[in-house]
Amino acid sequence: MAKTDLVEKTMNVPYGLNIIESCLTCKFREDRLFCQLSPAALKKLSSIKSTAMYPKGALLFIEGQLPRGVFILCQGKAKLSTSSKDGKTIILKIAEPGEVLGLSATVSGRPYEVSVELMEPTQANFIARDHFLTFLRENGDAALRVAEQLSENYHSAYEEIRTLGLSASASEKLAKLILEWSADAGSSKGLGNGKNPLKLKVGLTHEEIAEMIGTSRETVSRLFSDFKKKQLLEVKGSTLTIRNRAALERIIQS
């Protein structure tokens, strides 16, 4: 494909990324949205998508814009956020490679509800809205997969509502977030207790963490101090070590 050639030529060492050459050999294909489609459908899909590289900090789209289409993250993380006029911001989620962004807006035609900012240099596929919709109309199985994805999106939004609405204290919310992280990372059994400390990398500032749990930066700082004092965890640089997971779970409580 000409497009890919172009990419190769102009971006030999784009932003220090190794480019994923083809969707067919992409390691994320298996566990994501468009796995198990018919070969014909897959072919059609790759004919309407275009790949591009973006630098760290780039904005794929901004809340309120009319939906141009969907983006699929090949590699790199992205921050989905929304903010009010008075500058307050919520981070709804950190998207990982393989995720489809802008799906609900593209399907419904409503404006994008979040802004997407890349946290690292990123390779992403783009599919324009009209192409995407006609593709879905012609491929019922793909439409069903999209429905599943949307269900998942809804579910995570729902979880966010629960934390925001049901948890009394800020410490509760922070504990919840940390446990979520640890589940994503070493999902392997009972780490994080006593003799089995669980380490994880946190690439977020306190400010950003605050925006994720709907509190202030200072409160996050104080809570981390607290948790450290209580021996629940340790922080060295960007590495967080969970020392007493049980106690964290107890904070979320009852």
What is the C-alpha separation between 56 and 128, in angstroms, rounded? 23
Instruction: State the burial class of residue 214 (Cβ atoms within 10 Å of its Cβ: 0-12, 13-18, 19+).
Output: middle
Asked if residue 235 binds DNA (CB under 7 A), the reply is: yes
Tell me, what amino acid is at 165? Answer: G
Nearer to DNA, 134 or 239 (CB): 239
- Over its C-alpha atoms, the chain yields an Rg (Å, rounded) of 20
Among DNA, its own copies, none, what does residue 221 contact (CB within 5–8 Å per kind)?
DNA
Which residues, 6+ apart, have CB-to-CB distance to 141 below 8 Å? 36, 37, 38, 41
The region of 33-41, 47-55, 152-160, 230-238 touching its own copies under the rule CB under 8 A is: 152-160
Q: How far is CA 181 from the centre of its chain?
A: 12
The region of 97-105, 122-130, 178-186, 189-197 touching its own copies under the rule CB under 8 A is: 97-105
Tally of CB atoms within 10 A around 183: 9
Among DNA, its own copies, none, what does residue 206 contact (CB within 5–8 Å per kind)?
DNA
Site map (CB under 8 A) of its own copies, residues 195-224, x = contact: -------------------x----------
Asked if residue 166 binds DNA (CB under 7 A), the reply is: no
Asked if residue 227 binds DNA (CB under 7 A), the reply is: no
Could you tell me the two tokens for 80? 């989905």
Asked if residue 22 binds its own copies (CB under 8 A), the reply is: no
Residues at the site binding DNA, with contacts judged by CB under 7 A: 168-171, 205-207, 214-219, 221-222, 224-225, 235, 237
